[in-house]
């Protein structure tokens, strides 16, 4: 391992100890360190960072800016102990990262995905993807949180699911619908019968008996989208596995508006459920669907005075 790779690993360990997950940034920095080593460089320079960040040229400006931002944060940290390190100037690659417009799945979409998962081979893959897909849509938890679940994180008697590997390391417990408890408990029972001496304590396991990998789950989900006939919509809306979380949030908010409840008072509940560090991240979902905006506008319109 090169000195730059060791420094990057130290930087990531320090930031993660403070509660940051840095999954994307971690991959970027590992790739940058390998790129620098291949180029015979042992420190960060603006020219080197810019050269790496703009690869491949076919990617968007936002993608390039995101890569450079990861290196810039690392360089700022490293510069405090090594004045020779160059910190790329802010704004060197204009390209503001915009939050993707969510693809909101319909009930028919979700049913089609679950059915498609049931047709996967081998059968254990089908069982795992059906259960995982159902969990994501019924709870709105992050994919990483679901894949990090351990065998002991489901309490079927209390109907609780404990999320331990949460963003910012803030564990939380989620009360589940009885149907969700039944589905998860059934999966766990089949898993334990299939592998009485497991090689992992993970809740979701692959066909090899290892913890189900993120890349495997994502690639399989893309296959399910194709099998279910769910494609990119007009306007460039591309269905993603993360949009199960958005769908859960919007469906919950729509239900609150329709039942006449105080949505503003309930939003902190959704924020806690989602494990958001800042409630403003939950407020973003209010603009995620036109129907939500219309219902919110109706609440803000003054009611006509009663006729005498």
- Structure tokens belonging to residue 300: 């803000």
Q: What is the dihedral of CA 228, 232, 234, 235, to 10 degrees?
A: 150
Q: How far apart are CA 113 and CA 238, in angstroms?
A: 15
Q: Are 139 and 172 in contact (CB under 8 A)?
A: no
Q: How far apart are CA 32 and CA 52, in angstroms?
A: 7
Q: Is 7 exposed, middle or buried (0-12, 13-18, 19+ CB in 10 A)?
A: buried
pLDDT digits (tens, 9 = 90+) for 99-157: 667 888 999 999 999 999 999 999 999 999 999 999 999 999 999 999 999 999 999 99
Three-class SS state of 161:
strand
Residues found in the chain: 308
Annotated active-site residue 281? The verdict is no
Q: What is the dihedral of CA 241, 246, 251, 257, to 10 degrees?
A: 180
Strand 160-163 with 154-155, pairing: antiparallel
Annotated active-site residue 170? The verdict is no
Spell out, as residue ranges, where the chain has pLDDT lower than 50: 300-308
Identified catalytic residue from 79, 167, 169, 172: 167
Identified catalytic residue from 28, 67, 246, 276: 276
Annotated active-site residue 142? The verdict is yes
Q: How far apart are CA 104 and CA 254, in angstroms?
A: 12
pTM over 0.75: no
Q: How far apart are CA 120 and CA 145, in angstroms?
A: 23
Does the CA dihedral 100-101-102-105 come out positive or negative? negative
* Domain residue spans of the chain: 3-79, 108-227, 243-300
Identified catalytic residue from 28, 64, 72, 142: 142
Q: What is the dihedral of CA 202, 147, 156, 256, to 10 degrees?
A: 170
Annotated active-site residue 276? The verdict is yes
Q: Are 102 and 247 in contact (CB under 8 A)?
A: yes
**Topology (CATH) of 108-227:** hpI Integrase; Chain A (1.10.443)
Q: How far apart are CA 98 and CA 224, in angstroms?
A: 27
Q: How far apart are CA 53 and CA 46, in angstroms?
A: 10
- The per-residue pLDDT for 243 is 92
Identified catalytic residue from 72, 191, 245, 246: 245
- The one-character DSSP state at 204 is S
- The per-residue pLDDT for 304 is 45
Annotated active-site residue 177? The verdict is no
Q: How far apart are CA 273 and CA 140, in angstroms?
A: 9
């Amino acid at each position: 391992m090169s000195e730059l790779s060791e420094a990057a690993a130290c930087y990531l360990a320090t930031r993660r100890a403070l509660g940051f997950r840095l999954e994307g940034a971690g991959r970027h920095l590992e790739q940058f360190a390998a790129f620098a080593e291949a180029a015979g460089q042992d420190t960060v320079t603006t020219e080197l960072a810019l050269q790496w960040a703009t690869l491949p040229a076919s990617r968007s400006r936002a993608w390039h800016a995101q890569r450079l931002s990861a290196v810039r944060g690392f360089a700022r940290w490293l510069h405090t102990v090594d004045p020779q390190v160059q910190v790329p100037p802010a704004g060197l690659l204009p390209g503001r990262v915009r939050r993707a417009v969510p693809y909101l799945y319909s009930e028919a979409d979700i049913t089609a995905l679950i059915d498609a998962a049931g047709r996967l081979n081998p059968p254990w893959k089908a069982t795992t993807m059906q259960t995982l897909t159902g969990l994501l849509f019924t709870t709105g938890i992050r994919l990483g949180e679901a894949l990090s679940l351990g065998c002991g994180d489901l309490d079927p008697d209390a109907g609780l699911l404990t999320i331990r590997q949460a963003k910012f390391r803030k564990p939380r417990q989620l009360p589940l619908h009885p149907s969700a408890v039944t589905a998860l408990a059934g999966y766990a029972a089949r898993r334990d019968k299939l592998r009485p001496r497991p090689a992992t304590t993970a809740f979701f396991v692959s066909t090899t008996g290892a913890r189900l990998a993120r890349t495997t789950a994502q690639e399989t989900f893309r296959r399910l989208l194709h099998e279910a006939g769910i494609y990119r919509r007009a306007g460039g809306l591309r269905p993603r596995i993360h949009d199960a979380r958005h769908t859960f949030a919007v469906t919950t908010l729509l239900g609150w508006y329709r039942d006449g409840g105080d949505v503003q008072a309930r939003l902190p509940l959704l924020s806690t459920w989602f494990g958001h560090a800042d409630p403003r991240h939950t407020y973003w979902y209010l603009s995620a669907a036109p129907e939500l905006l219309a219902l919110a506008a109706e609440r803000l319109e003054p009611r006509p005075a009663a006729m005498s």
